[in-house]
Amino acid sequence: MTSQRTLNRLFVLHSWAGIVTGLLMFIVCFSGAVAVFKNEIDLWANPSLAQLPRSAQPAPLDVVLGQLQARYPGATVETIALPDAVNPSYFAFVRERGAPASTRTKVALRSDTGAVVGPVDSQLGQYLRMLHVFLFFGPRWIVGFLGVAMLVLIGTGIVIHRKILAELFTQRWGRSFRVVMSDLHKSAGIWGLGFHILIAATGAWMGLAPLFEQGYRYVMTPTGRAEAQAPRPAPPAPPMQSLDAMYATAQRAVPGLEARYVSLRRWTTAGADVSFTGNLRGHLASTARVDIDAVTGVPKKVHDPRTQGFWSMVNGLMEPLHFGDFGGLALKWLYFVLGMTPAFLSISGTLIWLDARRQRRRDIQATPARGERDVAAAG
């Protein structure tokens, strides 16, 4: 049985972990709950896109690329997003000639003809996703650390509130503000416990696993450096393989691949390659990917979570489990409602802590007055 001294220490750890991370936790949890509807929000913010026809047989990728090159001559087409269950259109991210290296234009294209509609007016859904994943400009490990902090809060909260089942339906509405908020805080934490563990664990994994992987590669990579070589003149631009033919090659390499994004790198150069990234038909794991040499059309790297071992499968499950984008609109609403509870916990926990501090100050201020009255009565 946990001693009272240990419980007190865990309570202090729980309180300060919540206070230190409270604001960031609220931002990340609130934006994450809303970002579940990222694609729907983008369509809502761009109503003209929702009116575009949905084609049962989308235009070939080669046609889409040709339309982009014709509309934006000299620009670099970096990524093409394919139509999906929510978005009826193609989208492309284009870096126009003379634009800063960090500036991209998101362009919409009709799915039936591949014709360019024009730049997307609002990317509100994408901004919310960036706020949730990177806090806009921060490294992702910060959000991963918040996932670890959330696991600490969950673990200490479970130990502190040992009578979980008894408190499951406890709500004392007629009591003080702190008691009411404390009951709401515990109820929200208990009812959403399984979901909170899932979100915290998957968020911590996605934020911190790449950091550990980079550290492992740094340690294991030989320190010797290759000798510097004189720069060579760039060879003439070879012809590029068909995007549609390379997509068919990618689907043969990874059966069931449903590409969501096509990324073009160093296009029209001898070192050009194309990546097809997406989901696996009938499988929960995501982030299947095939890299293909755009000059020869031969796969360079194939990543199929189903065949890469246990940890690769675990990694492939993290994103769909975290964002809830695998079960349709009903599951998104469930993720949204449950996703709001950690945001509420960060607010309610902070309010409880502040109210407790105010009460302690009042008690300290009242103590001398009581002492003076006792002395006067004794005299």
List per-residue pLDDT tens for the chain, 379 residues long: 568 888 888 888 998 899 999 999 999 999 999 999 998 998 888 888 888 888 889 999 999 999 999 999 989 999 999 998 888 999 999 998 887 877 889 999 999 999 999 999 888 988 999 999 988 878 889 999 999 999 999 999 888 876 665 666 667 777 788 788 888 888 888 889 999 999 999 999 999 988 887 887 778 777 544 444 555 555 666 899 999 999 999 999 999 999 999 999 999 999 999 999 999 988 887 789 999 999 999 999 999 998 888 888 888 899 999 999 888 899 999 999 999 999 999 999 998 888 888 888 887 877 765 555 555 555 5
The SS3 assignment for 30 reads: helix
230: in domain? no
134: in domain? yes
Cross-strand partners of 265: 273
Q: Report whether 247 contacts 297 (CB < 8 A).
A: no
114: in domain? no
Q: Quick one: CA torsion of 349, 353, 355, 358, rounded to 10 degrees?
A: -170
- Number of structural domains in the chain: 1
Q: How many CA atoms lie within 13 A of 35 on its CB side?
A: 19
309: in domain? yes
197: in domain? yes
Alpha-carbon 347 to chain mean position: 21
- Give the pair of three-digit tokens for residue 198: 């899932």
pTM above 0.85, yes or no: no
The domain containing residue 316 runs over which residues? Answer: 1-46+122-212+237-359
pLDDT for residue 226:
45
Cross-strand partners of 288: 278
Cross-strand partners of 274: 264, 292
CA distance 265 to 262: 10
Which of 158, 199, 244, 204 is CA-nearest to residue 341?
199
CA distance 299 to 257: 14
322: in domain? yes
136: in domain? yes
State how far the alpha carbon of 158 is from the alpha carbons of 35, 153, 347, in Å.
28, 9, 19
158: in domain? yes
- Give the pair of three-digit tokens for residue 369: 């007055």
